[in-house]
């Protein structure tokens, strides 16, 4: 492989063996474990999983925004732009934030500062990272608001968050995230708190933005259909681990991990007769408290074999090298 080709192929973000440790009443538990993935420029990685499986902590760890009780495991690595994010000082990390990696949060009602105009909130990173003057930053803020589809941007810059609807506020949050032209966008359930009608519009906006600027994106969602249609690759998380990494197009047809199939089966379908019971997954996901022996999903899994309860399955790939799964007894044939 030649050097130039290598440079083209070099992933934007390479995460290796990421673990997040949480201190809980004197005990240390691993809430994210052995997470590895790569993300190329202009691609989207979808992360799906149930609530509490570690999706949010995974995202926050990349930007050094873990809560005080949590920490990244010492052997974890995350290379972005040639630098290991977990080895950066706070001030170097501040240079990566917004300018290199920007984040969009779940709830736009609480992620904007209620006592600052949205204009000031958009201008802050412009002035701080790009050294713009206040006036220039303001006109850039108007442009940004316009580009994310906020109507009347000239007036809106002087408004406070409470004067806008949830969808508008999420557009503002996206404008803030895009302000410094980041190379990677982490969107942590950006549409969960929004009306269904607004969700598609926000996702369309994210897709458009990404296509225009070749930004890489991590899209966290618990909606499998969003993951399948809006991403290139999907990582399915269970109990802090990635259990399957599969290209988005093959998600519904070629999944090999029983947990992924259970998630797919749990989606309500239009063609079922009315009042047919939904396929919920039996049991509950394990809490972070207890130590897990073997596969964390084994107690809820209908394909569990003896081995599943004894040893944690490692990640392995199929022949193409693009489909990764961690299962001792994977589904062999394509799902019906």
Instruction: Give the nearer residue to another protein in terms of CB position, either 63 or 308.
Output: 63
End-to-end CA distance of the chain: 40
Write down the least CB distance from residue 103 to another protein, Å: 4
Instruction: Give the nearer residue to another protein in terms of CB position, either 112 or 227.
Output: 112
Write down the least CB distance from residue 323 to another protein, Å: 32
Q: CA angle at residue 45 from 43 to 48, to 5 degrees?
A: 160
Write down the least CB distance from residue 166 to another protein, Å: 13
Write down the least CB distance from residue 242 to another protein, Å: 23
DSSP 242-286: EEEEEEGGGTTTS--SHHHHHHHHTS--TTSPTTPPP-PPSS-PP
Token output for 146: 């316009």
Distance in angstroms (rounded) separating the CA atoms of residues 313 and 69:
29
Instruction: Give the nearer residue to another protein in terms of CB position, either 106 or 231.
Output: 106
Write down the least CB distance from residue 117 to another protein, Å: 8
Residues 28-61 as b/e (b if ≥16 CB within 10 A, e otherwise) read ebbbbbbbbbbbbeebbbbbbbbebbbbbbbbbb
Write down the least CB distance from residue 230 to another protein, Å: 22
Write down the least CB distance from residue 62 to another protein, Å: 10
Place of tokens 């990677």: 184
Instruction: Give the nearer residue to another protein in terms of CB position, either 113 or 165.
Output: 113
Farthest-apart Cα atoms in the chain, separation = 67
The footprint of another protein (CB under 8 A) covers: 60, 63, 65, 91, 93-99, 102-103, 105, 107, 110-116, 124-125, 128-129, 160, 162-163, 173, 176
Instruction: Give the nearer residue to another protein in terms of CB position, either 105 or 297.
Output: 105
Instruction: Give the nearer residue to another protein in terms of CB position, either 97 or 256.
Output: 97
Q: How many helices (H) and strands (E) does the chain have?
A: 12, 13
Residues 268-300 as b/e (b if ≥16 CB within 10 A, e otherwise) read eeeeeeeeeeeeebeeebbebeeebebbbbbbb
Instruction: Give the nearer residue to another protein in terms of CB position, either 126 or 308.
Output: 126
Distance in angstroms (rounded) separating the CA atoms of residues 260 and 255:
6
């Amino acid at each position: 492989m030649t050097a130039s080709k290598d440079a083209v192929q070099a992933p934007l973000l390479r995460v290796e063996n990421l673990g997040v440790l949480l201190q809980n009443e004197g005990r240390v538990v691993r809430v994210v474990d052995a997470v590895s993935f790569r993300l190329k420029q202009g691609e989207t990685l979808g992360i799906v999983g149930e609530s509490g499986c570690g999706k949010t902590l995974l995202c926050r760890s990349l930007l050094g925004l873990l809560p005080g009780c949590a920490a990244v495991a010492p052997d974890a690595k995350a290379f972005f732009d040639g630098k290991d994010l977990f080895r950066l000082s706070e001030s170097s990390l501040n240079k990566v934030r917004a300018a290199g990696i920007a984040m969009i949060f779940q709830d736009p009602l609480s992620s904007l500062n209620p006592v600052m105009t949205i204009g000031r909130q958009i201008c802050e990173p412009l002035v701080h990272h790009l050294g713009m003057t206040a006036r220039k930053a303001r006109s850039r803020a108007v442009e940004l608001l316009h580009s994310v589809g906020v109507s009347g941007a000239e007036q809106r810059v002087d408004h406070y968050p409470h004067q806008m609807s949830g969808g508008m506020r999420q557009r503002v949050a996206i404008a803030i995230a895009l302000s410094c032209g980041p190379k990677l966008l982490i969107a942590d359930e950006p549409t969960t708190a929004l009306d269904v009608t607004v969700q598609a519009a926000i996702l369309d906006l994210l897709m458009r933005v990404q296509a225009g600027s070749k930004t890489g994106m991590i899209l966290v969602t618990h909606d499998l259909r969003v993951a399948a249609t809006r991403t290139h690759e999907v990582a399915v998380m269970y109990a802090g681990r990635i259990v399957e990494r599969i290209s988005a197009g093959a998600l519904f047809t070629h999944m090999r991990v029983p947990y992924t199939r259970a998630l797919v089966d749990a989606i309500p379908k239009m063609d079922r007769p009315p009042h047919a019971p939904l396929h919920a997954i039996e049991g509950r996901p394990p809490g972070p408290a207890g130590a897990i022996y073997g596969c964390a999903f084994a107690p809820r899994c209908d394909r569990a074999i003896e081995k599943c309860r004894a040893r944690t399955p490692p990640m392995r790939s199929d022949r193409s090298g693009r489909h990764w799964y961690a299962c001792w007894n994977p589904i062999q044939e394509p799902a019906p």
